[in-house]
Amino acid sequence: MVRFRDTGEPAWRMEECREANMNSKRLPLLLLGWVCLPATLLCAEGLPVKSQLVRDACGACHRVDAQQRMSRISYARKTPEGWEETVQRMVRLHKVPLSSSDAREIVRYLSDSQGLTASELEKVSYALEQRDEPEQVPNEAAKKACSTCHSYAKVALQRRTKEEWFKLKDFLLALYPTLVYQHRQIDWPAVADEALTYFAQQFPLETPEWRREKDQPAPGDSTWLVVGSERGRGDYVGQASLKTGADGSREVQTSVEYADGVKATLRGQGRFFAGCSWRGSMEWQDGRKVREVFHLSADGNTLKGRWYLYDHPEIGGDEVLYRIDAQPRIAAVFPRAVKRGVKNAEITIYGSNFQGLKTDSLSLGEGVKIDKINSSADRATLQISVAPDAKIGHRDVRFGTATGKELFTVYDTVDYIRVFPEQAMARIGGERLPKKLTQFEARAFSKGSPSATNTIGDLDLGPVKVTWRVNEAASSIDDNDIKYVGSIDSNGLFTPAVEGPNPERFRSTNNAGDIWVEASYAPVAGDTQTLTARGYLIVAVPLYRRSLIP
């Protein structure tokens, strides 16, 4: 997890930076051979380094040529997290003397001038956003040689020349010589060469996306329409305003409203790196401090990403922000689903530029009649009647040239619920190492076709309020994990127990185990039975080693 200060910038170990003292004689000769290349040996491609600070701080080992290219540095592009990790390594291993402010400025410059573009980040931004998602590694050699130790995304979030990619093998062998023995089932150097050949082809220093988007400007003062979802609390909408500071950062004020009507505010600041990578440090009005990792679309009109708690990145919310312009936009409908045959149901449509919205200019599809409308610039409250024979399914909401794709649903019955995540892992902790929490959510579904035998085409009706409990997932005789592994609250948040030996357990084992997390949904009007669902939870030991980035 990469730590960011309240300014939205990388946090540095200030005591290391103040006390560091560069002594090149202490560097291994092998490493010196990598970084102190004569200018005549630099390859033809490469990006100029125009920052005098970078040259002064890094020039003792990284030579500058006539085209202002610096050995090693000019031949890679990385995310802000990637450059931060590099600079931290220079301070930690090679004692580069850097103040906190200089370190931040170096990361800022390299991220801006040698970062990744919006299109390059699109498929692998999940790792930066701290999403717990399974990866598909598209290359067998990369799977065997690389993803056994770190995520594939860590590789895909870099761009290098072919020469730089192949230097990685020697670099890793120098820092981690035991990796050959850890991969004894394969010829690691040979398989690594196969993987690096693939990386050099897939992730070269200069790409069509880089040439097309490298000069993308960062948004200035602007207002954005916010559409988000926080597991355990539900969907929300709102507006965020960005105001540019003297140092290029952005002051942010956000106001949101959840589907249940609860309102909240969020304030803080952040910065765009490379014109498209937003890193922010914010605080909700209830005191929760969060980090924001968003990425701007190539056209500059959409920000998409995730925010998460400082101390628990597994807890957070998904957001999409749309730049507000002169055109109307439909963002959300609360509640998102109405049962057919219902009369005088009230729904609210959220968006921007709703001026002139009238009954005859708004459509929810055939079979839905708008009886009454009360609108303002950013919302419209409607009373509607849904015909008993209205077609069930997701529907588009239309107003003039604006279309909200599948934002409204007509359904017949709530047929079942599902628990999300369906499989999860929490980690005990709290004494010496942090706990890993798990936030569960229950969602209601209606069968898209009564004769269907699978869930394809079924209608997601959104989060529902349920009763939570845990139950034993028996895997051995006298299994009693539910007594020790932790507890779940009324909102679906599972908090694991503390780590360490527990004398109350057999052989004083720790508080790890596995359980079922079960949800019970009480029937509502027109329904006849209580619906239940469950998810499987493993409560594991602490994560003893936490890397800075995935």
What stretches of 205-285 show up as alpha helix (H) in DSSP? 208-213
User: Two tokens at 428?
Assistant: 């005990």
| Per-residue confidence band for 454, with pLDDT thresholds at 50, 70 and 90 | low
Question: Residue written as tokens 């309020």?
Answer: 465
CA–CA distance, 30 with 25 (Å, rounded to integer) = 12
Q: Which CATH superfamily is domain 416-540 in?
A: Immunoglobulins (2.60.40.10)
* Lowest mean per-residue pLDDT among 268-277, 349-358, 457-466, 488-497: 349-358
Our CA dihedral for 199, 204, 210, 211, rounded to 10 degrees, sits at: -150
pLDDT digits 0-9 by tens, 230-267: 999 999 999 999 999 999 999 999 999 999 999 999 99
Residue 474's pLDDT is 85
pLDDT digits 0-9 by tens, 306-354: 999 999 999 999 999 999 998 999 999 999 999 999 999 999 999 999 9
What is the residue type of 411? Y
CATH topology of domain 222-323: Lipocalin (2.40.128)
Cis amide prior to 335 (ω within 30 degrees): yes
CA–CA distance, 535 with 533 (Å, rounded to integer) = 7
Pick 280 or 8 by higher pLDDT. Answer: 280
The 10 Å Cβ neighbour count of residue 207 is: 18
Mean pLDDT over 29-54 rounds to 63
pLDDT digits 0-9 by tens, 466-485: 999 999 998 877 788 999 99
- Model confidence at 550: pLDDT above 70: no
The 10 Å Cβ neighbour count of residue 407 is: 21
CA–CA distance, 252 with 240 (Å, rounded to integer) = 7
Q: For residue 313, which of 295, 294, 296, 293 has the smallest C-alpha distance? A: 293
φ and ψ at residue 86, rounded to 5 degrees: -65, -50
Burial 383-400 (b: 16+ CB within 10 A, else e): ebbbeeebebebbebebe
**Is residue 161 a contact partner of residue 46, using CB atoms and an 8 Å limit?**
yes
Pick 178 or 4 by higher pLDDT. Answer: 178
| Per-residue confidence band for 401, with pLDDT thresholds at 50, 70 and 90 | confident
Question: Residue written as tokens 């020039």?
Answer: 59
* Lowest mean per-residue pLDDT among 17-26, 175-184, 316-325: 17-26
Residue 525's pLDDT is 63
CATH topology of domain 1-115: Cytochrome Bc1 Complex; Chain D, domain 2 (1.10.760)
Provide CB contacts within 8 A for 97, sequence distance 6+.
17, 20, 21, 22
The radius of gyration of the chain's CA atoms, rounded to the nearest angstrom, is: 27
Question: Residue written as tokens 């559409």?
Answer: 227
CATH topology of domain 329-411: Immunoglobulin-like (2.60.40)
- Region(s) of the chain under CATH 2.40.128.120: 222-323
Mean pLDDT over 27-39 rounds to 39
Residue 295 CB-half CA count within 13 A: 19
- Model confidence at 23: pLDDT above 80: no
Pick 186 or 43 by higher pLDDT. Answer: 186
- Region(s) of the chain under CATH 2.60.40.10: 329-411, 416-540
- Region(s) of the chain under CATH 1.10.760.10: 1-115
Largest CA distance in the chain: 83
* Lowest mean per-residue pLDDT among 14-18, 74-78, 248-252, 495-499: 14-18
Q: For residue 153, which of 129, 126, 193 has the smallest C-alpha distance? A: 126
- Model confidence at 428: pLDDT above 50: yes
